[in-house]
Amino acid sequence: MGLLSYLSDPGVFLVAFLLAVLGLMLHNLAQAWLADRYGDPGPRRHGFLSLDLRVHLEPLGLLLLLLLGFGWPRFVPYRLFGGKEARVALMGPLGFLLAAFLYGLFARFLPYPFGEGAQVAQGLMLLHAAIYLFPVPPLDGARVVYALGSREARALMDRLASYGPLGFLLVFLVLSYTGVTGAVVRGLAGLLGYLYRAMGL
């Protein structure tokens, strides 16, 4: 479900959209930060350690965020290999999960419409964290397979990538309608619930 369904409540819609956009940026900042720590000059050279919206955001990704509730930022350019490449890739979903954790805190303590908007944004960030873990190009999970997988696994990623955006959208719809995405989202939500309970919330 996209964000447009919340247009009947403009305050909630605006808060949720702005926080979702911030979540896309956190994905990139997390990857750029670790790649920079590993000595890759690409993210810093291309501005991905900044808060410049023009660097991080991609128009089609924002449009689909509104329509489908799932979007994407511009991809962080980095050239690393093996374990370092995999760890940088996984920082993306971790960035989404961090955003979801923070938005859950906002939802508990902020008044209307900020708390309600944060709750919507938390759901979106959990969805993004789940989907970006899947090994489907160009998602972060696929970059982990490229970094650590066998020759056969990398060849499978190449075949999936050859279908372009259409192939990705098809896989996205299949995973959503078969309940796989929902199961991963529920697992991540359960993890956050455990953390909140440990904090006495």
Convert the pLDDT of each residue in 85-142 to its tens digit: 999 999 999 999 999 999 999 999 999 999 999 999 999 999 999 999 999 888 999 9
What pLDDT does 166 receive?
Answer: 77
The number of beta carbons lying within 10 Å of the beta carbon of residue 140 is: 27
Q: What is the pLDDT of residues 127-166, one digit of tens each?
A: 999 999 999 888 999 999 999 999 999 998 998 888 877 7
Instruction: Enumerate the domain spans of the chain.
Output: 3-198
pTM of the model: 0.94
Q: State how far the Cα of 193 lies from the Cα of 201, in Å rounded to an integer.
A: 9
For residue 168 the two structure tokens come to 């990705």
